[in-house]
Chains A and B, each alone.
Chain A
Amino acid sequence: DTAVSQTPKYLVTQMGNDKSIKCEQNLGHDTMYWYKQDSKKFLKIMFSYNNKELIINETVPNRFSPKSPDKAHLNLHINSLELGDSAVYFCASSPAGGEADTQYFGPGTRLTVL
Chain B
Amino acid sequence: AQKITQTQPGMFVQEKEAVTLDCTYDTSDQSYGLFWYKQPSSGEMIFLIYQGSYDEQNATEGRYSLNFQKARKSANLVISASQLGDSAMYFCAMREGLTGGGNKLTFGTGTQLKVEL
Contact = CB atoms under 8 A, between A and B. Distances in A.
A92 B93 CA distance: 14
Given A31-B101, A55-B102, A90 B107 contact: no
A1 interface: no
A49 B98 CA distance: 12
A44 B50 contact: no
Interface in A75-114: 88, 90, 92, 94, 96-97, 99-108, 110
B47 to A, nearest CB: 6
Given A43-B91, A99-B52, A105 B104 contact: no
Interface residues of A, number: 34
Between B91, B97, B103, the greatest number of chain A beta carbons within 10 A of the residue's beta carbon is seen for B103
Interface of B: 31, 33, 35, 37, 39, 43-47, 50, 52, 54, 89, 91, 93, 95, 97-98, 100-107, 109-110
A107 B44 contact: yes
Interface of A: 30-31, 33, 35, 40-45, 48-51, 53, 55-56, 88, 90, 92, 94, 96-97, 99-108, 110
Given A41-B89, A55-B98, 13 more contacts: A30-B102, A42-B107, A43-B93, A45-B105, A48-B98, A48-B102, A50-B101, A53-B100, A56-B104, A96-B102, A101-B97, A102-B35, A108-B43
Contacts of B54: 99
A44 B107 contact: yes
A35 to B, nearest CB: 8
A99 B54 CA distance: 10
Given A43-B107, A107-B44, A102 B100 contact: no
Contact of B101 (A97, A100, A104): A97
A103 B109 contact: no
A99 B31 contact: yes
Between A33, A45, A99, A106, the greatest number of chain B beta carbons within 10 A of the residue's beta carbon is seen for A99
A50 B103 CA distance: 10
